[in-house]
Amino acid sequence: MSAHPAVVFASGQLLTEDVWAPQAIALSPDYELQVADHLHDDTIAGMAARLLAGAPPRFHLVAHAMGGFTAFEVMRQQPERVLSLVLISTLASADGPAQTERRQGYIRLVEAGNFAGVVEERIPMLVAPSRRGDEVLPSVIRHMASDTGADRFLAQQRAIMSRIDSRPSLAAIKVPTLLIRGDHDGITTRGHQDEILAGIARSRLEVIANCGHLPTLETPAETNRILRDWLVRVSPAAT
């Protein structure tokens, strides 16, 4: 068993462990790191059960986007195993009619053979306006999407569409909880964060300036600083 505190990362849709690459470099000397498998289940409950099956007995859970939906389910299934929770660019509510229709549109496009088109449509939603001309970041996103593949994207979409509304269960989350959001996130809003802050008693929010939906890659130095400060605070034995 490792002497270091354990951190489990839960990724968003279309994203692989590469989305955590800067954090792996920054945190690996002091923490036992693990990226949850979200490529073999077509429900959020299944993703959460798989995460728990592969995770250490106790761990800090750092979740991004769809990973946040998985994190809420983890907190319903086995909350006693989670030491602290970090929710990045996520929300607690279920999809409304507009979101469901958009996802169904993605499914129709992918089933028609236009997976690449869906990826290109999503890139502007994932990064801050100032980064859309960047050649490197969109290339990393395309690579992760390619590694995910059309079939897994469809399964992830269906899992997200069928997820339950997590807002009623937020008050049951008792562990320290940190929310991180880029101020130019094209998917989540400040209102989404306020709902989580109101629901979880021991929660607080960090907003990163000039950042979109992918703080781990868009602003890695700032994200790493926030995560390291948080983990030191909630696990004093870490150095």
Give residue 132's pLDDT.
79
For residue 58, the one-letter residue type is: R
Chain centroid to CA 123: 16
Q: How many CB atoms lie within 10 A of CB 126?
A: 26
3-state DSSP assignment of residue 228: helix
The two structure tokens encoding residue 178: 């940190």
How far, in Å, CA of 217 to CA of 223, rounded?
Answer: 9
Q: How far apart are the first and last CA of the chain?
A: 18
pLDDT for 239 equals 37
Task: State residue 184's pLDDT score.
Answer: 96
Q: Helices 66-77 and 150-161 sit at what angle, rounded to 10 degrees? A: 50
For residue 70 the two structure tokens come to 């998985």
pLDDT on residue 237: 52
Q: How many CA atoms lie within 13 A of 81 on its CB side?
A: 22
Q: Which fold has domain 6-95+157-234?
A: Rossmann fold (3.40.50)
Q: What span, in angstroms and rounded, lies between the C-alpha atoms of 131 and 102?
A: 24
**Contact indicator for 26, 231 with CB cutoff of 8 Å:** no
Alpha-helical (H) ranges within 78-135 are: 97-111, 115-126
Task: Give CA–CA dist 190/10, Å, rounded.
Answer: 21
Domains of the chain by residue range: 6-95+157-234
Q: Would you write out the chain's pLDDT as a tens digit for each of its 239 residues?
A: 458 999 999 999 999 999 999 999 999 999 999 999 999 999 999 999 999 999 999 999 999 999 999 999 999 999 999 999 999 999 999 998 888 898 999 999 999 999 999 999 999 999 999 887 888 999 999 999 999 999 999 999 999 999 999 999 999 999 999 999 999 999 999 999 999 999 999 999 999 999 999 999 999 999 999 999 999 999 855 43
CA 182 to chain centre: 13
Distance CA 206, CA 136 (A): 26
